[in-house]
Amino acid sequence: MQPDMLDSAAGQFALLRPGANPRQSLRAWDAADEYLISHIQDAYKNKPITVFNDHFGALGTALNHQVKYWITDSYCALQSLELNQKKNNLVSELTVVSPLDQWSSNATLGVMKLPKNLSYLHFLLQGCFKSNISTVLIAGMMKHLPKNILSFLQRFGTVERFPFKKKATIYKLTLENVERSAYPKSNILRNIKLISHANVFGRDKLDPGAEFLLDNITALPSANSVADLCCGSGILGLQYAKAYANQNDELHLDFFDESFMAMRSAELSWVKNNINGHANFYWEDGISNKHQGYDLIICNPPFHEEHTVGDHIAKRLFNDAKQHLNKNGKLIIVGNRHLGYHVTLKSYFKHVTQIAANGKFVLLSAHA
Ligand SMILES: C[S@@+](CC[C@H](N)C(=O)[O-])C[C@H]1O[C@@H](n2cnc3c(N)ncnc32)[C@H](O)[C@@H]1O
């Protein structure tokens, strides 16, 4: 992995973007990060800050001396921050906090990359308000701004928008009034009670890919040790456990997600459903080496990382799954037909078979 040089108002930093395929020209920052760094150097030099949603640790690295709290839902973002701080020989005093923890801000300045989903933005602004962060700088690229972003932010206070630079902008929000977020939220989907935190995939409705897998749940093999990889709020693992736990006292499920909110949502959902069997919940990038093998891994893989679409994450996950299957273990995935996962899986597994398909989705089983 080769670093790129960020030449910023706060200095030069060699930044890595872990997980990107070497053939993809993906960097660990964008013009919105550069804008935030330069504005903070000009207007808030040395002011203690709380950073939110820093995808690859560019802000945490370049503004290292000012960052007191670094709030992340993403395990991959945390790994990137640690890697980039090390790469730049920085000794960090920042405290890493999940968005579900209480953080006491000591009246820091809030500095945020615009989240993709507005429910999560609302949740974070509620957290800022509770912890005495009165000013939040929110930066994003023009192409990623929701149409209603200005009126959305105005619900929470006074907003000033800075001029676009390199197609990026900053909103300065002075928080005055933050209504309660609707999250965590309870839903019942296909007879499963789901609790979903604000940044969880499929928090309001069932993903059509997940639905296709659930339509075919009885075609999955019975297994003792099962992983729900990329679990979201846990719908796939929960439905599997519901279908198979009564036939199998030994059933043990591990749920994995790189989103802290997803991992916690799956845990809350598991408790709500009183299902037989044992379960553990892990906040990880894929499946780490500390885990033993599984008889079955089920997965509805992501095909984008924030705004970047691609199969680079799915490939990493397939490789992880391969390392964590027992001798006769199977990986079962659901995916959009057009993503061509049957071909991708073939580079990791000897046997790939189609369990079911419709016009849009395929359900594939892979084993060594
Ligand atoms: C398509 S959603 C599937 C969620 C749920 N299983 C469903 O079917 O509704 C993909 C999930 O993968 C998670 N994810 C993305 N990258 C990951 C990684 N490197 N390791 C673990 N989980 C990841 C996302 O947070 C998201 O919850």
What single letter denotes the amino acid at residue 70? W
Helix, strand, coil % in the chain, rounded to nearest 5: 30, 30, 40
Q: Which atom of ligand 1 is nearest to the CA of 76?
A: 19
What's the rounded Cα separation, in Å, for the pair 94 and 100? Answer: 18
Residue nearest to atom 2 of ligand 1 (CA): 302
pLDDT digits (tens, 9 = 90+) for 323-345: 999 999 999 999 999 999 999 99
Q: What are phi and psi of 90, to 5 degrees?
A: -95, 140
- The sheet with strand 95-97 has its strands ordered as 95-97, 67-71, 49-52, 109-113, 135-141, 168-175, 157-161
Q: Ligand 1 centre from 125 Cα, in Å? A: 24
How many other CB atoms are found less than 10 A from the CB of residue 272? 16
Q: Are 297 and 322 in contact (CB under 8 A)?
A: no
Pocket test for ligand 1, best of 72, 204, 258 (most atoms within 8 A of CB): 258
pLDDT digits (tens, 9 = 90+) for 260-291: 999 999 999 999 999 988 999 999 999 999 99
Q: Is 200 left (phi over 0), alpha (psi -120 to 50) or beta?
A: beta
Q: Ligand 1 centre from 201 Cα, in Å? A: 7
Show Cβ contacts of residue 74 under 8 Å, excluding neighbours closer than 6 positions: 55, 258, 259, 260
Bridge partners, residue 279, by sequence: 253
Q: Are 92 and 85 in contact (CB under 8 A)?
A: yes
Q: Are 35 and 97 in contact (CB under 8 A)?
A: no
Q: Ligand 1 centre from 202 Cα, in Å? A: 10
Q: Are 98 and 124 in contact (CB under 8 A)?
A: no
Report which DSSP code applies to 117. Answer: -
User: Which residues of the chain have a pLDDT value below 50?
Assistant: none
The reported pLDDT for the residue numbered 326 is 97
Q: Is 102 exposed, middle or buried (0-12, 13-18, 19+ CB in 10 A)?
A: exposed
Reading the block at residue 88, the tokens are 């730049």
Residue that is written with structure tokens 């009246």 in the block = 107
Residues making up the chain, counted from first to last: 368
Share above pLDDT 70 across residues of the chain, in percent, rounded to a whole number:
100
Q: Which domains does the chain have, with CATH numbers?
A: 4-175 (3.40.50.150), 185-367 (3.40.50.150)
State the DSSP string of 46-61.
Answer: T--EEEE--TTSHHHH
Q: Are 364 and 342 in contact (CB under 8 A)?
A: yes
Is 306 touching ligand 1 by the criterion CB < 6 Å?
no
Q: Are 220 and 214 in contact (CB under 8 A)?
A: no
Reading the block at residue 162, the tokens are 């800075």
State the DSSP string of 84-152.
Answer: HHHHTT-----EEE-TTS----TTPEEEEEPPS-HHHHHHHHHHHHHTT--EEEEEEEGGG--TTHHHH
Report which DSSP code applies to 218. Answer: G
Is 189 touching ligand 1 by the criterion CB < 6 Å?
no
Is 287 touching ligand 1 by the criterion CB < 6 Å?
no
Is 58 touching ligand 1 by the criterion CB < 6 Å?
no
